């Protein structure tokens, strides 16, 4: 229960921070889903460069492209998943890519590419992207994923170093569950 409350607090802070920082939101509106990052910016230490790296991650992961994930994930990659019941799962690069490889071998359909971008922060060779995703890759059920993704610029490209992902049922799932309980 404490982890669930913690994830709600994190989500609330991110939401409030986004509202309180309209200048950041204004800068990010340029990066709508249809926005194409110019080729010259893709490997740079800019918000646009990080966005391009994140778009590439989402595209390749949702297609189970394990070869691409080998270069997208940093050698020291670590991800922590907090499931809706409070269970915490942690994986290193090899373990996480194995999950994608297994799903590819099972012939899983492409995952949902939907993303709601909340924040990008670049400081030298480090960057953070905060976003909400929707997909079913971790549980088999379409979920909301509240994500904090840390990147490192190394070997001429942005690489994903850490992911903290909080999985939550979709709002309509909560409503349906409450309706069934009555």
Q: How confident is the model at residue 103 (pLDDT cuts 50, 70, 90)?
A: confident
Please report the domains of the chain, with CATH numbers, ordered by start residue. 2-181 (3.10.450.50)
Q: Are 115 and 106 in contact (CB under 8 A)?
A: no
What mean pLDDT is predicted for residues 64-81?
A: 95
Distances in whole angstroms, Cα of residue 95 to Cα of each of 46, 115, 139, 154, 165:
30, 24, 16, 22, 16
Choose the weakest-confidence range: 25-39, 47-61, 65-79.
25-39
Cα separation, 152 vs 157, in Å, equals 8
Q: Are 168 and 84 in contact (CB under 8 A)?
A: yes
Q: How confident is the model at residue 135 (pLDDT cuts 50, 70, 90)?
A: confident
Q: In what order do the strands lie in the sheet with 143-154?
A: 88-92, 73-82, 157-169, 143-154, 126-135, 115-123
Average pLDDT of every residue of the chain:
78
What mean pLDDT is predicted for residues 95-124?
A: 91
What mean pLDDT is predicted for residues 6-11?
A: 46
């Amino acid at each position: 229960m404490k982890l669930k409350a913690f994830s709600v607090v994190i989500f609330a802070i991110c939401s409030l921070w986004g509202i309180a920082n309209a200048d950041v939101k204004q800068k990010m509106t340029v990066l709508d889903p249809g926005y194409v990052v110019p080729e010259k910016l893709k490997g740079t230490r800019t918000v646009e460069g990080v966005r391009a790296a994140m778009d590439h991650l989402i595209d390749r992961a949702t297609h189970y492209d394990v070869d691409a994930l080998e270069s997208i994930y940093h050698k020291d990659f670590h991800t922590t998943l907090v499931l809706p019941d409070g269970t915490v799962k942690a994986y290193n690069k090899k373990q996480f890519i194995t999950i994608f490889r297994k799903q590819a071998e099972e012939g899983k359909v492409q995952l949902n590419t939907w993303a709601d971008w909340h924040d990008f922060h670049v400081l030298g060779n480090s960057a953070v992207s905060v976003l909400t995703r929707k997909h079913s890759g971790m549980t088999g059920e379409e979920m909301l994923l509240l994500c904090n993704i840390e990147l490192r610029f190394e070997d001429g490209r942005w690489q994903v170093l850490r992911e903290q992902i909080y999985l939550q049922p979709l709002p309509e799932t909560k409503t349906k569950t409450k309706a069934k309980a009555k």
